[in-house]
Structure 1
Amino acid sequence: MKPILSKNRTYISSALLVVILQVVFQGTTVAQITDYLKIPGPLQVDTTTFHLAWSLNPSPNYVKQEYLPEGQSLEKFHSMVTIDFVKGHYTAEEVMKTKINELDALKKSNPIVNYKVYEKENEFILDFLLSQNSPDGEKVIIIERNVYRYHTINTKGKEGLLAFCVTERAYEDSIVNFLENLKANQRKLVNIVGTLKLPEPN
Structure 2
Amino acid sequence: MRHSSLRRSLLPVVSFVIAAALALPAAAQDDLIGAPGPLTFEGTEFALAWTGATEAEAVQEYLPEGQALESYDAMFIIRTATTGNTPLVVAQNMAAGLEERRGTDPVVNYDLIENKATGEVLLDFLISDSSSGSIVVEWNAYRYAPLDGGVVGYAISRRGYGDDGAKTFLTELKDWRQNSITALATMELPEVAIPE
TM-score (norm 1): 0.79
Listed as ranges, the matches of 1:56-95 within 5 Å are 56-59=52-55, 61-87=56-82, 89-95=84-90
Q: Which of 4, 14, 35 is the equivalent residue of 1:39?
A: 35
- Aligned-residue offset at 1:31: 5.6
The answer for unaligned runs of 5 or more in structure 2 is 1-11
1:189 pairs with 2:180: yes
Deviations 1:133-186 (A, max 9, x none): 2645xxx621100001100023xxxx2200111001111222222212112333
Higher helix share goes to which structure?
Answer: 2
Label 1:182 to 1:88 Cα distance change in 2 as closer, same or farther (>3 A).
closer
What residue in structure 2 maps to residue 115 of structure 1?
A: 110
What residue in structure 1 maps to residue 125 of structure 2?
A: 128
Q: Which of 38, 52, 59 is the equivalent residue of 2:48?
A: 52
Higher strand share goes to which structure?
Answer: 1
What residue in structure 2 maps to residue 152 of structure 1?
A: 146
- Aligned-residue offset at 1:34: 1.6
Label 1:141 to 1:23 Cα distance change in 2 as closer, same or farther (>3 A).
farther
Q: Give, in whole Å, the separation in 1 of the partners of 2:139 and 2:61.
A: 15
Look up the SS of the partner of 1:21 in the other structure: coil
Q: Which of 141, 156, 180 is the equivalent residue of 2:135?
A: 141
The answer for unaligned runs of 5 or more in structure 1 is 1-13
CA contact (8 A) 2:15 2:90 kept: no
Please report the RMSD computed on the Cα atoms of aligned residues, expressed in angstroms. Answer: 2.5
Calculate percent identity across the aligned residue pairs.
Answer: 32
Deviations 1:2-37 (A, max 9, x none): xxxxxxxxxxxx97xx2423599xx96336612110
Listed as ranges, the matches of 1:168-187 within 5 Å are 168-172=158-162, 173-187=164-178
Look up the SS of the partner of 2:29 in the other structure: coil
Q: Give, in whole Å, the separation in 2 of the partners of 1:181 and 1:31.
A: 31
- Aligned-residue offset at 1:190: 0.6
In the alignment of these two chains, the number of paired residues is 178
What residue in structure 1 maps to residue 8 of structure 2?
A: none
